[in-house]
Amino acid sequence: MERRREPRATAEQTVVVTVLGRQALQISGTAVDISGRGLRLLLSGRVSPGDPVKIDMDDGFLLGEICYCQTQGSDYIVGVELDQALAGLSELARLNLALFEEPSSHRQVAEIRLPSRPRQEPDTVKNGSFTPLALPSKP
Protein backbone atom coordinates (compact mmCIF):
# COMPACT_ATOMS: atom_id res chain seq x y z
CA MET A 1 0.00 0.00 0.00
CA GLU A 2 1.36 3.46 -0.99
CA ARG A 3 1.64 5.79 2.01
CA ARG A 4 2.94 8.88 0.23
CA ARG A 5 0.90 12.08 0.46
CA GLU A 6 1.83 13.18 -3.06
CA PRO A 7 2.50 11.24 -6.25
CA ARG A 8 6.07 11.01 -7.49
CA ALA A 9 7.15 11.81 -11.04
CA THR A 10 10.14 10.28 -12.81
CA ALA A 11 12.93 12.82 -13.04
CA GLU A 12 16.13 11.24 -14.49
CA GLN A 13 18.00 14.53 -14.13
CA THR A 14 21.69 15.07 -13.34
CA VAL A 15 22.24 16.75 -9.97
CA VAL A 16 25.09 17.91 -7.77
CA VAL A 17 24.42 17.46 -4.07
CA THR A 18 26.30 19.65 -1.59
CA VAL A 19 26.23 18.41 1.98
CA LEU A 20 26.09 21.58 4.05
CA GLY A 21 27.91 21.97 7.32
CA ARG A 22 31.44 22.24 8.63
CA GLN A 23 32.99 20.46 5.65
CA ALA A 24 31.01 21.09 2.47
CA LEU A 25 31.08 17.90 0.40
CA GLN A 26 29.87 17.71 -3.22
CA ILE A 27 28.56 14.48 -4.74
CA SER A 28 27.28 13.99 -8.28
CA GLY A 29 24.25 11.89 -9.01
CA THR A 30 20.84 11.57 -10.63
CA ALA A 31 17.38 12.59 -9.42
CA VAL A 32 15.38 9.38 -9.90
CA ASP A 33 11.96 10.71 -8.95
CA ILE A 34 10.48 13.79 -7.32
CA SER A 35 7.33 15.01 -5.58
CA GLY A 36 6.28 18.26 -3.96
CA ARG A 37 7.77 17.18 -0.62
CA GLY A 38 10.75 15.03 -1.51
CA LEU A 39 12.90 13.27 -4.02
CA ARG A 40 14.89 10.11 -4.45
CA LEU A 41 18.47 10.36 -5.65
CA LEU A 42 21.06 7.91 -6.92
CA LEU A 43 24.42 9.21 -5.67
CA SER A 44 28.03 8.17 -6.15
CA GLY A 45 28.86 8.83 -2.49
CA ARG A 46 27.41 8.15 0.95
CA VAL A 47 25.50 10.75 2.98
CA SER A 48 24.03 10.50 6.47
CA PRO A 49 20.39 10.83 7.54
CA GLY A 50 19.83 14.27 9.01
CA ASP A 51 22.46 15.94 6.81
CA PRO A 52 21.24 19.29 5.36
CA VAL A 53 21.80 19.41 1.60
CA LYS A 54 21.62 21.75 -1.38
CA ILE A 55 20.75 20.04 -4.65
CA ASP A 56 21.75 21.87 -7.83
CA MET A 57 19.61 21.02 -10.85
CA ASP A 58 19.40 22.38 -14.41
CA ASP A 59 17.66 25.69 -13.71
CA GLY A 60 17.43 25.92 -9.96
CA PHE A 61 18.27 24.35 -6.66
CA LEU A 62 16.57 22.61 -3.76
CA LEU A 63 17.28 22.64 -0.04
CA GLY A 64 16.40 19.67 2.11
CA GLU A 65 17.43 17.04 4.61
CA ILE A 66 18.57 13.47 4.05
CA CYS A 67 15.96 10.95 5.30
CA TYR A 68 17.74 7.71 4.39
CA CYS A 69 20.76 6.39 2.51
CA GLN A 70 20.85 2.79 1.27
CA THR A 71 23.56 0.96 -0.67
CA GLN A 72 22.69 -0.07 -4.24
CA GLY A 73 25.68 -1.74 -5.87
CA SER A 74 28.52 0.78 -5.84
CA ASP A 75 26.07 3.71 -5.51
CA TYR A 76 23.58 4.91 -2.91
CA ILE A 77 19.82 5.45 -3.05
CA VAL A 78 19.03 8.55 -1.00
CA GLY A 79 15.71 10.00 0.15
CA VAL A 80 15.51 13.76 0.68
CA GLU A 81 12.75 15.69 2.42
CA LEU A 82 12.51 19.05 0.66
CA ASP A 83 12.36 22.31 2.54
CA GLN A 84 12.84 25.04 -0.11
CA ALA A 85 13.02 25.20 -3.91
CA LEU A 86 14.19 27.94 -6.25
CA ALA A 87 13.54 27.47 -9.95
CA GLY A 88 13.78 29.69 -13.01
CA LEU A 89 17.29 30.96 -12.30
CA SER A 90 18.11 31.44 -15.99
CA GLU A 91 15.06 33.70 -16.42
CA LEU A 92 16.04 35.62 -13.28
CA ALA A 93 19.58 36.06 -14.64
CA ARG A 94 18.20 37.29 -17.99
CA LEU A 95 15.96 39.86 -16.28
CA ASN A 96 18.80 40.99 -14.03
CA LEU A 97 21.08 41.42 -17.02
CA ALA A 98 18.42 43.39 -18.92
CA LEU A 99 17.90 45.66 -15.93
CA PHE A 100 21.56 46.52 -15.47
CA GLU A 101 22.44 46.78 -19.15
CA GLU A 102 19.54 49.14 -19.90
CA PRO A 103 20.80 52.42 -21.39
CA SER A 104 21.11 55.11 -18.74
CA SER A 105 18.84 57.42 -20.77
CA HIS A 106 15.95 55.04 -20.10
CA ARG A 107 16.67 54.54 -16.44
CA GLN A 108 14.92 56.69 -13.91
CA VAL A 109 17.25 57.77 -11.18
CA ALA A 110 15.86 59.06 -7.93
CA GLU A 111 17.54 62.25 -6.85
CA ILE A 112 17.62 62.93 -3.15
CA ARG A 113 18.05 66.50 -2.02
CA LEU A 114 18.77 67.13 1.60
CA PRO A 115 17.51 70.34 3.19
CA SER A 116 20.22 72.94 3.31
CA ARG A 117 21.57 73.99 6.68
CA PRO A 118 23.25 77.25 7.48
CA ARG A 119 26.99 76.82 7.32
CA GLN A 120 28.67 76.73 10.71
CA GLU A 121 32.26 77.62 11.23
CA PRO A 122 34.16 75.04 13.22
CA ASP A 123 35.40 75.72 16.71
CA THR A 124 38.84 77.27 16.57
CA VAL A 125 42.09 76.75 18.36
CA LYS A 126 44.33 79.79 18.85
CA ASN A 127 47.80 79.58 20.33
CA GLY A 128 47.09 76.15 21.80
CA SER A 129 43.91 77.20 23.58
CA PHE A 130 40.40 76.25 22.55
CA THR A 131 38.06 79.12 21.70
CA PRO A 132 34.45 78.07 21.13
CA LEU A 133 32.37 80.10 18.79
CA ALA A 134 29.81 82.38 20.37
CA LEU A 135 26.33 80.89 20.70
CA PRO A 136 23.35 82.94 19.60
CA SER A 137 21.71 84.72 22.49
CA LYS A 138 18.29 83.60 23.68
CA PRO A 139 15.41 86.05 23.20
Query: Which residue type occupies 100?
Result: F
Torsional sign, CA 59, 5, 70, 53: positive
pLDDT digits (tens, 9 = 90+) for 25-43: 899 999 999 888 899 999 9
pLDDT digits (tens, 9 = 90+) for 32-89: 998 888 999 999 999 999 999 999 988 888 999 999 999 999 999 999 999 988 887 7
d(CA 111, CA 99): 19
Domains and CATH numbers, the chain: 9-90 (2.40.10.220)
Where helices occur in the chain by DSSP H, the ranges are 89-100
